[in-house]
Amino acid sequence: MQRLVFLLGWVFFLSCTNDNEQDFFQIPCDTDNVFYLASDETRSISTIISNKCIGCHTEGNTNSYLSLETYDDLILFPNLDEIINSEINPMPPIGESPLTECEKQQLTNWVNNGFPEYE
């Protein structure tokens, strides 16, 4: 019983101190060399979009006003970095898996660098 209490306490502690796997495992964050399609998926915008956005932002979804399914869809929104950093209407919405600080910075830099498509 004591081990169970210790384990639950440890899990609770970790959940409070690490918002995401990137922080928890101390995965390096490359925010400078990001592309829509990169050879390393930790630098690939399409991976972020797939994991955090496509659940709602598809062409047929009537709950969202924009599709983010393709590169051509994404580059239609030059203020994409403002959308994901909005405090009024945060994306992804509260209750969904949030973007990490690394992912936010990668998206912002990708937009600021002119939406580079391929590495």
Statement: residue 10 has pLDDT above 70: no
Closest C-alpha to 106, from 20, 29, 37: 29
pLDDT digits (tens, 9 = 90+) for 47-102: 999 999 998 888 887 777 788 999 999 998 888 888 888 888 878 888 888 999 99
Statement: residue 6 has pLDDT above 60: no
pLDDT value of position 16: 46
> What's the predicted TM-score (pTM) here?
0.73
Using pLDDT thresholds of 50, 70 and 90, give the confidence band for residue 113.
very high
Computed over every residue of the chain, the mean pLDDT equals 80
Cα dihedral sign for 58, 111, 37, 101? Answer: negative
pLDDT value of position 18: 44
20: left (phi over 0), alpha (psi -120 to 50) or beta: beta
pLDDT value of position 81: 83
63: left (phi over 0), alpha (psi -120 to 50) or beta: alpha
pLDDT value of position 45: 94
Helix (H, G, I), strand (E, B) or coil at 35: strand
Using pLDDT thresholds of 50, 70 and 90, give the confidence band for residue 24.
low
- Tell me how far apart the alpha carbons of residues 49 and 68 are, in angstroms, rounded to a whole number: 7
